[in-house]
Structure 1
Amino acid sequence: MRRLALVLAVFWLTLALSGCGFQLRGSYQLPADLERVAINAPQFSEFAEQARQRFTLAGAELVEQGDVVRIDILGDRLSRRTLSLSASGQVAEYELIYTVDYRLIKRNGATRNLQVEVFRDYQDDPNFALAKTRERELLVAEMREQAAQRMLRQVIAQLAEN
């Protein structure tokens, strides 16, 4: 009897969530203009590879050219600023800032320059330099992935504004 009640509860919860339009994060309803997209970027750009992967996973077909929406990745950069100092005056904590500048060119020729920024705090300890270097590399990779997700959402929102 309990098992039946649990199955019914899960069924009704699933029905209610799907009825209200709930979607798992990462699943996007692409606009028709974004079914085919061209992404241009500097050669060997790690962010560009992440962005291409994100758009492909969302269901977009990547093309080189044609009458499609075009995204020109103008550049990405990582900067940092000091958040706190230790008692000895050494930097104890940084804020990492990953910025991506890109240009969205719609099918009608309208152009818009956009930017994505991702922020993360990073604690630095000079006694563990090697471990902290690896941690920083992992943080930057996560920031790159998050920036690609934000870029996809921004592009979808921009195309919906038509």
Structure 2
Amino acid sequence: MLLIHKHKNLTVWLSMLVLSVMLTACGFQLRQPNPVAFKSVYLLGSTKINSALKKSLKDQNIQLVESAEEAELQVDLMHEENEKRILSLSGTGVVREYELYYRVEYRTKAINEPTWSLPLIMESRRDYTYNDANLLAKLTEEKRLSETMQTDVLNGILRRLSALKKAPQ
């Protein structure tokens, strides 16, 4: 009986080993952000995503500099907007659905460009149902949705920054 039990454990262990080897052998790896072509960035402005943007740039070995003169690229986070709108009401006038809205307006300027780019807007929206009976759960849901919207906007800005090309010097 003990021998059969050990045999089953060995079979499970071997199948897990084979599965993990197959997964790594197929070339699977998590998606990485596209690299930004600039080696130094100067960030202006203050938004909720500033620290996450700085961390993402540092993770790509991009130096965050203290002055615009040192930077190959300047990023100005000009305006941030966070809004909660009522989408629908019940027949008695009670809110049933909200829309969350998060937008960041920014512009860029490379070292060799004489002027700033036109302002670009990156935004995210989420809808969610609301019920007073589940107030704490709905507040937590709203907070998580806001965090994912900020992450989506951050990733969109990083994608746009990675699309910028450094001019030959």
Name the TM-score, length of structure 2 as normaliser: 0.72
The one-character-per-residue Cα deviations of 1:86-121 (angstroms, maximum 9, x if unpaired) are 343322111211000111111113421111001111
The CA deviation at 1:72 is 0.9
Q: What runs of 5+ residues in structure 1 fail to find an aligned partner? A: 18-22
Q: How many residues align?
A: 148
Question: Contact (CA 8 Å) 1:37, 1:62: kept in 2 or not?
Answer: yes
* Cα distance change, pair 129–160 in 1 and its aligned pair in 2 (3 A): same
Question: Contact (CA 8 Å) 1:36, 1:60: kept in 2 or not?
Answer: yes
Aligned partner of 2:165 in structure 1 is 160
The CA deviation at 1:46 is 2.3
The CA deviation at 1:35 is 1.7
* Cα distance change, pair 84–26 in 1 and its aligned pair in 2 (3 A): farther
SS at 1:160's partner residue?
A: coil
Aligned partner of 1:131 in structure 2 is 137
RMSD across aligned C-alpha pairs, in angstroms?
Answer: 2.7
SS at 1:145's partner residue?
A: helix
Asked whether 1:121 is paired with 2:127, we answer yes
Q: What runs of 5+ residues in structure 2 fail to find an aligned partner? A: 1-13
Aligned partner of 1:93 in structure 2 is 97
Question: Contact (CA 8 Å) 2:103, 2:122: kept in 1 or not?
Answer: yes
After alignment, is 115-124 or 55-64 more displaced? Answer: 55-64
The CA deviation at 1:52 is 1.3
Asked whether 1:64 is paired with 2:66, we answer yes
Question: Contact (CA 8 Å) 2:103, 2:121: kept in 1 or not?
Answer: yes
Asked whether 1:76 is paired with 2:70, we answer no
Question: Contact (CA 8 Å) 1:80, 1:94: kept in 2 or not?
Answer: yes
Asked whether 1:145 is paired with 2:147, we answer no
Identity rate, percent: 28
Aligned partner of 1:103 in structure 2 is 107
Question: Contact (CA 8 Å) 1:47, 1:76: kept in 2 or not?
Answer: no
